[in-house]
Amino acid sequence: MPPRPGEDGTHFRTCPLCEATCGLAIEVEGGRVTRIRGDEDDVFSRGYVCPKGATLKDLHEDPDWLKAPLLGRGASPREASFDEAFAEVERRLRPIIEEHGRDAVAVYLGNPNVHNIAGGIYVRPLIKALGTKNVFSASTVDQMPRHVSSGLLYGGPGIIPVPDIDRTDLLVMLGANPLESNGSLCTAPDFPGRLKALRARGGRLVVIDPKRTRTAELADVHLAIRPGTDVQLLLALAHVLVEEGRVRLGAAEGHVEGLPDLERALAAWTPERAAEATGIAAATIRELAGSLADAERAVVYGRIGTNTVRYGALTSWATDIVTLLAGHLDAPGGLMWPRAAHARASDGRAGGRGFATGRWKSRVRGAPEVMGEFPVAALAEEIETPGEGQVKALVTIAGNPVLSTPNGRRLEKALSKLDLMISVDPYRNETTCHADVLLPVPTPLERSHYDLAFYGLAVRNVARYSPPIFETDRPQESEVLGRLALIAQGQPADADPAALDDMMAGGAMQAAVANEASPVAGRDAAELLGETAGRAGPERVIDAMLRGGPYGDRLDLAALEAAPHGIDLGALEPQLPGVLKTPSGKVELMPPPILEELERLETEASEKASGYVLIGRRHLRSNNSWMHNVERLVRGRDRCTLQIHPDDAKALGLDGEGAKARVRSRVGELVVAVEPTDALMRGVVSLPHGFGHDAEGARLRVASRHAGVNSNVLTDEEVLDRLSGTAVLNGIPVEIEAASA
């Protein structure tokens, strides 16, 4: 058995930093981490680790990782106890709700919420307790288009299929760079190794990206594409399948609706037309469509570069449509649905309520709600614009929207006008320096871990649980969120959050016994809860979910505790039709919002962009905005540079040593060092996001020495993917000139 929390020895745990969920072996001696390596016995990652995984020690020991709450904004906040901090929240939040109503309190949820248990379980009750419509998150600068397309096609925003990369013969990848990102909406530790294995078994990898990325270099074929035009490429691929009579539905046969309408809608989208928009030759498009149809096992996968664009949801829909028409939906090596151990066990019956957006609208620009959220691009205006329902207070949890959302400058100004800002975050950064109350959380080694988000997106069905490695006397994040929820409900600041735990665990168990397909169907919830006795907090909730889940007859939390390297639950299995929750019980190929969007594209597709466009990029040693305070990751050459094709650099007079460019968009401008590289196609420039660590009130000793510039000073809060409310972060029109010294 591995050591208990706080003991010396080798601890095993899942890395919480990115979606790859690698297993780590962490050696502790004398109460300190001495070594972190990949866990070779991990059932999923088999020893793989990236440079970030080893820095959990650095995060744990980072003197800037806050240990106590901070009260007050700007450069000199005051340290306080947690009790004091919660009392301050109570004192200041209540009057705002009383005077201005519940919508006056907005919430912003950042990315790490999907990487920790607290975010997965306790955020929802907190939002419910606040009772506000003003909910914003990083989803609308990220994957919301994928939720919308899944909602429309399959009936639920969470019914997201993943590419079965371990068994495919042909992987067509658009707008993703897993050699840097380690993969997203496709949890696959050692993504690079899996791509190499694909090629080693005779399979092919095609990468479609405006940049010849490291992933593209690994591919059989790299096709450079003009930013924002993937939708036309995908429509043309689907068009060819129809035109050449190569549509076959395979496993989806009998489970689709609207095929004639789809075929009709595709008629106009010829490869010749796509060639003009994308820059990829029509013959190449026809050939690619043929390969997808010929391959026994093939799949199309698109990510950030196809989501954070003008037609993000339509592009995401088209990605699945191509795979489906070529016969690869719900088939091994194609697009398949994972079955997470904690998910609701399925009774195999298709059909449900389906998915709708726009049940309510944002106050200022009238943006439709999507999954209960408004576009984060609309947050600043909700704070700035006076009137009934104006946002007066903001709670941020695990987010840094000043650096990660469009027109960060405007948002920054808006934050400084709030009556109250509360942040749950370990760092005082560009966003949280505006907080009146900053509530820190334990380090990644002081908490337990189970991937509530990513086992539902993984290329194999697996489950792993990690207990904390070190004990802490500071409250867990679940407790912090629980106490905030109780205050929002109107309970006193010192109310015991255990009541909320009971409610959550009870709710999970009730749901399990009420589900006919669950192994605990019909049993007594209270009695079952009794069996989890001894567990508290989120552990009890997870145990309840596991017992009611699809493997609940053989898998509970105790089983996971006894398996520190995880439990492999097998390859992905076909799930049609039970997975479908559309009203028809079919894959609804041509839902009205998609049809409308196609018509809109028809009128806009001929608009020709001229001038330069900006795209983003990621680096293996970076993680959005928040790991730049780790010395080991940021040392070396400057990574926050404007990449540009050497011929473009020359044409702009930016080819000299140490040249700097002034980059201007509709909303802002910045000056940045230039890095010529022929990896980029001409007319396209690239800047990473998550930099710009120069805020006065921040406490980021390392990051501030590698400040860089905030690329979201340039992204436009007015330009969104209409269906999902997602910001356009790739394909921003910019003007570039040499910056005089």
Ligand X SMILES: Nc1nc2c(c(=O)[nH]1)N[C@H]1C(S)=C(S)[C@@H](COP(=O)(O)OP(=O)(O)OC[C@H]3O[C@@H](n4cnc5c(=O)[nH]c(N)nc54)[C@H](O)[C@@H]3O)O[C@H]1N2
- Near ligand X by CB under 6 A: residue from 62, 477, 597, 717: 477
φ, ψ at 289 (rounded to 5°): -60, -40
Q: Which of the listed partners (Mo ion, ligand X, ligand SF4, none) does 377 bind, with a CB threshold of 5 to 8 Å by partner kind?
A: none
CB-wise, 441 or 544, nearer to ligand X?
A: 441
Amino acid at 353: R
Quote the least distance from Cβ 497 to ligand X, whole Å.
16
Kindly give, in sequence order, each residue whose CB lies less than 8 Å from that of residue 588, ignoring residues fewer than 6 positions away.
152, 153, 155, 257, 258, 354, 582
Collapsed DSSP state (helix, strand, coil) of residue 100: helix
> Which pair of tokens denotes residue 192?
């690079």
CB-wise, 575 or 625, nearer to Mo ion?
A: 625
- Near ligand X by CB under 6 A: residue from 45, 400, 478, 518: 400
Q: Which of the listed partners (Mo ion, ligand SF4, ligand X, none) does 22 bind, with a CB threshold of 5 to 8 Å by partner kind?
A: ligand SF4
The set of long-range contacts for 442-445, using a CB threshold of 8 Å and a minimum separation of 24, is 442/468, 442/472, 442/474, 442/476, 442/477, 443/59, 443/60, 443/65, 443/470, 443/472, 444/16, 444/17, 444/56, 444/59, 444/60, 445/13, 445/26, 445/33, 445/56, 445/57, 445/60, 445/469, 445/470
- Near Mo ion by CB under 5 A: residue from 88, 142, 169, 263: 142
CB-wise, 307 or 515, nearer to ligand X?
A: 307
Cβ contact 39:45 at 8 Å: yes
- Near ligand X by CB under 6 A: residue from 258, 426, 550, 566: 426
> Which pair of tokens denotes residue 242?
């129809």
Cβ contact 140:724 at 8 Å: yes
Among 91-99, 109-117, 587-595, 700-708, the segment contacting ligand X (CB under 6 A): 109-117
Cβ contact 286:240 at 8 Å: yes
Site membership for ligand X, residue 401 (CB under 6 A): yes
CA distances from 728 to 108, 178, 522, 733 (A): 19, 21, 48, 11
Q: Which of the listed partners (ligand X, ligand SF4, Mo ion, none) does 309 bind, with a CB threshold of 5 to 8 Å by partner kind?
A: ligand X
Which 1-60 positions form the footprint of ligand SF4 (CB under 6 A)? Answer: 15, 17-18, 20-22, 49-50, 52-53
Q: Which of the listed partners (Mo ion, ligand SF4, ligand X, none) does 209 bind, with a CB threshold of 5 to 8 Å by partner kind?
A: ligand X
Beta bridge pairs of residue 674: 642
CA distances from 292 to 262, 297, 497, 572 (A): 19, 8, 53, 21
Kindly give, in sequence order, each residue whose CB lies less than 8 Å from that of residue 124, ignoring residues fewer than 6 positions away.
none
How many Cβ atoms are within 10 Å of 678's Cβ, its own excluded?
11
CA distances from 568 to 46, 165, 253, 334, 462 (A): 12, 17, 30, 20, 5
Q: What is the DSSP string of 459-473?
A: SEEEE--B--SS--S
CB-wise, 54 or 480, nearer to ligand SF4?
A: 54
**Residues 595-634: x where in contact with ligand X by CB under 6 A, - otherwise, as a string:** --------------------xxxxxx-xxxxx--------
Residue nearest to ligand X (CB): 305
- Near ligand X by CB under 6 A: residue from 132, 187, 404, 575: 404
Collapsed DSSP state (helix, strand, coil) of residue 410: helix
Q: Which of the listed partners (ligand X, Mo ion, ligand SF4, none) does 53 bind, with a CB threshold of 5 to 8 Å by partner kind?
A: ligand SF4
**Residues 171-210: x where in contact with ligand SF4 by CB under 6 A, - otherwise, as a string:** -----------x------x---------------------
Among 244-252, 494-502, 630-638, 724-732, the segment contacting ligand X (CB under 6 A): 724-732
Quote the least distance from Cβ 181 to ligand SF4, whole Å.
9
Beta-carbon-side half-sphere exposure of residue 623 (alpha carbons within 13 Å): 25
Quote the least distance from Cβ 411 to ligand X, whole Å.
11
Quote the least distance from Cβ 625 to ligand X, whole Å.
3
Site membership for Mo ion, residue 373 (CB under 5 A): no
Site for ligand X (CB under 6 A): how many residues? Answer: 63
φ, ψ at 307 (rounded to 5°): -95, -45
Quote the least distance from Cβ 137 to Mo ion, whole Å.
10
CB-wise, 140 or 213, nearer to ligand SF4?
A: 213
Q: Say how far apart CA 531 and CA 536 lie, in whole Å.
A: 12
How many Cβ atoms are within 10 Å of 632's Cβ, its own excluded?
15
Which 6-25 positions form the footprint of ligand X (CB under 6 A)? Answer: 18
CB-wise, 60 or 303, nearer to Mo ion?
A: 303
> Which pair of tokens denotes residue 725?
């409310």
Quote the least distance from Cβ 16 to ligand SF4, whole Å.
8
CB-wise, 133 or 689, nearer to ligand SF4?
A: 689
Which 205-244 positions form the footprint of ligand X (CB under 6 A)? Answer: 208-211, 213, 225, 227-228, 230
Site membership for ligand X, residue 303 (CB under 6 A): yes
Number of separate helices (H) and strands (E) present in the chain: 24, 26
Among 140-148, 264-272, 414-422, 694-702, the segment contacting Mo ion (CB under 5 A): 140-148
Quote the least distance from Cβ 85 to Mo ion, whole Å.
29
Quote the least distance from Cβ 533 to ligand X, whole Å.
28
Cβ contact 372:399 at 8 Å: no
CB-wise, 85 or 398, nearer to ligand X?
A: 398
Quote the least distance from Cβ 50 to ligand SF4, whole Å.
3
Q: Which of the listed partners (ligand SF4, ligand X, Mo ion, none) does 213 bind, with a CB threshold of 5 to 8 Å by partner kind?
A: ligand X
Quote the least distance from Cβ 399 to ligand X, whole Å.
4
Cβ contact 373:83 at 8 Å: no
Quote the least distance from Cβ 452 to ligand SF4, whole Å.
15
Q: Say how far apart CA 562 and CA 620 lie, in whole Å.
A: 32
Which 386-425 positions form the footprint of ligand SF4 (CB under 6 A)? Answer: none
Q: Say how far apart CA 646 and CA 341 lie, in whole Å.
A: 50
Q: Say how far apart CA 72 and CA 411 lie, in whole Å.
A: 19
Give contact residues for Mo ion (rule: CB under 5 A). 142
Give contact residues for ligand SF4 (rule: CB under 6 A). 15, 17-18, 20-22, 49-50, 52-53, 182, 189
Give contact residues for ligand X (rule: CB under 6 A). 18, 110-112, 116, 138, 141-142, 174-178, 180-182, 184, 208-211, 213, 225, 227-228, 230, 303-306, 309, 397-401, 404, 424-427, 429, 441, 477, 615-620, 622-626, 689-690, 711-712, 715, 729-731
